[in-house]
Structure 1
Amino acid sequence: MNYLIGEYECKLDTKGRMVVPAALKRQLPDVEREGLVVNRGFEKNLVIYTRAEWNKILGQLSRLNQFQVRNREFVRKFTSGATELLLDAAGRVLLPKNLLEYAEMDSELVLACNLEKIEVWSKRKYEEQMNSISEEDFSDLAEQVMGNFDFGGGADV
């Protein structure tokens, strides 16, 4: 799996269409054949997955015990609203109105690559999210999250 990189500002037209930036499209070689899937994110944003990545997640969800209420509720909530996106001839995708309303999107968007998925934010909410943690707090968070990883390195002696 190649991880996606980059942050892209783009516009949403009045019909709810968004042009997939060329630099991002180059990272998605199978997008025109396989399509994408968009769904609700956890922070009032949207998340776009490649079809392969979405199928991998569905495979993980299918292994959950459906006799447990919490599992059923999570799967139901997580998959509700998931919609296939197909690129048109102009390289645009139509984002569903119900998902745009959920994420409180206006015409200015930010596409932020996050490992194997693309987060879609209203520009205003993205700036709020990114500014909500100071550089010092980010440094502390990095230590908490990444501090115990063994990266296989060490001092060269």
Structure 2
Amino acid sequence: MTAHLIGEFDCKLDAKGRLMVPSGLKKQLPLAETDGLVINRGFEKHLTIYTKAEWDKITAELASLNSFEKKTREFIRYFTRGASILTLDASGRVLLPKSLLEYAGIQAEVVLSCQFDKIEVWSKEAYDAQMDDEPENFANLAEEVMGNKGRSANGE
């Protein structure tokens, strides 16, 4: 079983668009310095960082899809658009691609939010707005999403 990434980190980009990987996160990514990381667009206006091993699993799954179907080709094209390898420099920084920063509206302040096997990278402003929009009744959402776990389709 793979260990899941944990934490939420407030960070600032330097003038060149480099992100210092927080030490608490770096400890959870022991292979990042040798294997690198992969960043691409998230489904909302944010970026997503994967370990190289996780990215390889995702792309293997994408490669197994039927590329003769138009919607499959479109999904793969949009999902992988802008994907880039990130390499940690000697100071533990990664240079985030300018095109991806522009896509996500990221300028200086960012939030790194660990989500199991990936790290979401948000502009601080967008992340705060997302979290301020918490459902009125989070318990109802939890029941809707997680309530039927472990039950079969026929209710048993």
TM category, shorter: over 0.9
- The amino acid of 2:116's aligned partner reads L
Deviation at 1:150, TM superposition (A): 3.2
Q: Distance in 1 between matches of 2:15 and 2:113?
A: 22
Matched, 1:87 2:114: no
Alignment of 1:1-80 (within 5 A): 1-80=2-81
Q: Aligned-pair RMSD on alpha carbons?
A: 1.1
Q: Distance in 1 between matches of 2:107 and 2:139?
A: 32
Deviation at 1:140, TM superposition (A): 1.1
Deviation at 1:137, TM superposition (A): 2.6
- The amino acid of 1:25's aligned partner reads K
Identify the residue that residue 155 of structure 1 maps to in structure 2: none
Identify the residue that residue 148 of structure 1 maps to in structure 2: 148
Q: Distance in 2 between matches of 1:119 and 1:145?
A: 21
- The secondary structure found in structure 2 opposite 1:88 is coil
Identify the residue that residue 122 of structure 1 maps to in structure 2: 123
Identify the residue that residue 154 of structure 1 maps to in structure 2: none
Q: How many residues align?
A: 150
Structure 1 stretches of 4+ moved >3 Å: none
**TM-score for both structures, normalised by structure 1:** 0.93
Unaligned runs of 5+ in 2: 152-156
Question: Deviation string for 1:11-31 (max 9, x for gaps)?
Answer: 011100000000000000111
Question: Deviation string for 1:13-65 (max 9, x for gaps)?
Answer: 11000000000000001110100000000110000000000000001100110
- The amino acid of 2:29's aligned partner reads L
- The amino acid of 2:100's aligned partner reads L
Question: Deviation string for 1:67-95 (max 9, x for gaps)?
Answer: 00000010011111000000000100000
Unaligned runs of 5+ in 1: 152-157
Alignment of 1:91-102 (within 5 A): 91-102=92-103
Percent identity of paired positions between Structure 1 and Structure 2: 59
